[in-house]
Copies of this chain bind each other. A is one copy, B any other.
Amino acid sequence: MTTGALPRRVTARDVARRVGCSVATVSLVVNGKGEGRVASSTQQLIWEAVADLGYRLNQTASALARGRSSTIGFVCPDPTNPFFSMVLEGLSGALDDELSLTLLMPNQGSDYDLGTLQRALAGDFAGLIIATPGRHLMDGFVPTCPTLLLDAAEAHPRIPGIDLDVVGAAGQLADHLAGLGHRAVGYVGVSRDKASLQTRRQALASSLERLGSAVVADLELDVLTLSSARDAFSTAWPAWDAAGVTAVVCGDELHAYGVLQAARTLGIDVPGRLSLVGFNDLPYSELVQPRLTSVNLSALDLGAAAGAALQEYLITGEPPATTMLPTRLVVRESTARASR
């Protein structure tokens, strides 16, 4: 039973020695810069030696010599949240093979903080993508490498980003609800101090008001779990009922599921008595009845767009213009004509 002391790493020197050439030549060939500069016979020999010896380029040394790393950092609150895992998926799909992806998440707690950001700065990244930062988190931020902000309209004046058209989405949603005759809507927000989350509430409220409706009741939850929404809504419902609320909008769809659950328990008919909508189109929609009307924030596209933009940035050196991704309202069974 050999306990596995791993063999010393094979270096370019070993390959060079074996072939009888210099390290520089090995470097050229291995990096695919050999064509037209190194005799093809030599290339042959080098590749053979590489295979025989099991040589692999030392990325660390390569990065150091070259002066830039080839890994990009992705900062996000919680990979367990479908929204972020989908952004991640989109991002990873959009990145070139040579780029690797390291994940920076909070050490504890459900959202990342300055500490996480510090770690991101400390790592040697070719580029950085920061997803949905808290409102003031970026205030004193000085980028040390090409950096992109996701879903954080104006969190930082100098850093380009990819945004979701939350305002447009809120407008669509307001149209939809007002069109169904909803005059009084309740809003379930997330207390996390994020620009994107706050915009959702504000944009909805002002769009509604323009149409003669209004947000007349609020709930603000600390944690992004189904049960927190369920419990809070159960408690709040009598007052909301009295206030004439006929529709509830949740800043995050996960909360909408909680509200739905509470509604079932309380015997509130959705959508007969109460219409229900959430932002974020989580992959639960087929699971639950009635299926929820929701604002699709297309996390996958967001990730993909970020990947593409960052690569552009890395290649050209020019920061991309901040872009806005469209969102769309997906109408399902949880919204209907206002009950009164």
Contact = CB atoms under 8 A, between A and B. Distances in A.
Interface residues on A, range: 35 or more
Contacts of A123: 59, 100
Interface string A90-108: 0011000100111111011
Given A57-B122, A124-B59, A261-B286, A97 B107 contact: yes
Contacts of A286: 226-227, 257, 261
Contacts of A59: 122-124
Number of copies: 2
Contacts of A143: 4, 6
Interface string A156-168: 0010000000000
Interface in A74-131: 78-80, 82, 85-86, 88-89, 92-93, 97, 100-105, 107-108, 119, 121-124
Nearest to A74: B103
Interface string A3-31: 11110010000000000000000000000
A102 B105 contact: no
Nearest to A56: B122
Contacts of A57: 122
Interface in A275-316: 283-284, 286-288
B6 A124 contact: no
A63 interface: yes
Contact of A85 (B69, B71, B79, B97): B79
A319 interface: yes
A319 B158 CA distance: 48
A101 B101 CA distance: 9
A89 to B, nearest CB: 5
A160 to B, nearest CB: 9
Contact of A102 (B93, B101, B288, B317): B101
A318 interface: yes
Contacts of A71: 102
Nearest to A159: B4
A262 to B, nearest CB: 11
Contacts of A64: 58, 60-61, 64
Given A4-B319, A102-B101, A261-B286, A107 B89 contact: no
Interface string A129-145: 00000000000001111
A85 B89 contact: no
B108 A93 contact: yes
